[in-house]
């Protein structure tokens, strides 16, 4: 099971890589826009330095045609590093790009997946990760849980090395639904993580434990004081 951060914010990445077992960072042009006017490649290299060489960094192309996407991919690899997972949308030119990048031995994340058929094509093309858009699928009246389950079944049936990297979440329940139906990885904004860890009942449990301890050993004491 892999948890990834869907952000390009340096402060958030530093904070949550210290707290959580983060397997990688994902980004797209909309996420990059939130950071304002930045030196794009330097920013991505800084993210790499934070997460380390063993975590995965996913960077999306911007061009929409075959030649343009290939050039974007080549520029990303040349200016960040060769380990980057190039995010390619699963459409007609995108699938052609995925095949070519995999022919070259480049890491690929197939993104903008809304349907099982898109996923099946990306799996057949050799994508390392496929990224179904959970919340967006729900908004289109597509059952993402059932779709992810079937994607996982296809990966198992074909003995593919492709992993499902579920994305586009609005709440913790959606993340759970993706993982419970076969997604090996999930990428989420820090708001989802904060939502999961800020339940009042968690804080109350900690408060109660502290009060019980202090009732026995004195106010303000911990085990380290014994």
pLDDT digits (tens, 9 = 90+) for 106-153: 999 999 999 999 999 999 999 999 999 999 999 999 999 999 999 999
Q: What is the pLDDT of residue 27?
A: 97
87 is catalytic: yes
* Chain centroid, CA 170 distance in Å: 14
- 14: Cβ contacts below 8 Å, ≥ 6 apart: 50
In the set 15, 34, 87, 116, the catalytic residue is: 87
Q: Residue 88 and residue 110: Cα distance in Å, rounded?
A: 5
Q: What is the pLDDT of residue 134?
A: 97
pLDDT > 80? residue 23: yes
Q: What is the pLDDT of residue 201?
A: 81
Span 64-106, pLDDT tens digits? 999 999 999 999 999 999 999 999 999 999 999 999 999 999 9
Q: What is the pLDDT of residue 222?
A: 87
Span 35-75, pLDDT tens digits? 999 999 999 999 999 999 999 999 999 999 999 999 999 99
Mean residue pLDDT of the chain comes to 96
Indicate the pTM of the whole model.
Answer: 0.92
> What is the band of 199 on the pLDDT scale with cuts at 50, 70, 90?
confident
pLDDT > 90? residue 211: no
Q: Residue 35 and residue 43: Cα distance in Å, rounded?
A: 10
Q: Residue 1 and residue 212: Cα distance in Å, rounded?
A: 35
The fourth-level CATH superfamily of domain 2-188 is Aldolase class I (3.20.20.70)
- Angle (nearest 5°) at CA 71 between 7 and 122: 65
Ranges of each domain in the chain: 2-188, 199-226
pLDDT > 90? residue 225: no
């Amino acid at each position: 099971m892999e948890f990834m951060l869907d952000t390009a914010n340096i402060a958030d990445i530093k904070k949550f890589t210290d707290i959580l077992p983060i397997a990688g960072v994902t980004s797209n042009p909309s996420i990059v826009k939130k950071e304002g006017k930045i030196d794009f490649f330097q920013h991505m290299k800084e993210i790499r330095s934070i997460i380390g060489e063993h975590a995965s960094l996913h960077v999306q192309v911007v061009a929409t045609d075959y030649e343009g996407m290939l050039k974007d991919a080549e520029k990303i690899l040349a200016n960040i590093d060769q380990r980057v997972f190039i995010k390619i949308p699963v459409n007609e030119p995108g699938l052609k790009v995925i095949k070519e990048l995999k022919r070259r031995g480049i890491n690929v994340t197939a993104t903008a997946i809304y349907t099982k058929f898109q996923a099946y094509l990306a799996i057949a093309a050799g994508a390392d990760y496929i990224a179904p858009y959970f919340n967006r699928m729900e908004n289109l009246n597509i059952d993402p849980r059932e779709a992810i389950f079937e994607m996982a079944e296809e990966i198992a049936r074909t003995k593919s090395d492709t992993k499902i990297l579920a994305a586009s979440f609005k709440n913790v329940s959606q993340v759970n639904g993706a993982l419970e139906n076969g997604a090996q990885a999930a990428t989420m904004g820090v708001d989802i993580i904060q939502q999961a860890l800020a339940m009042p009942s968690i804080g109350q449990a900690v408060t109660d434990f502290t009060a019980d301890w202090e009732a026995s050993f004195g106010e303000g004491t911990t085990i380290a004081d014994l």
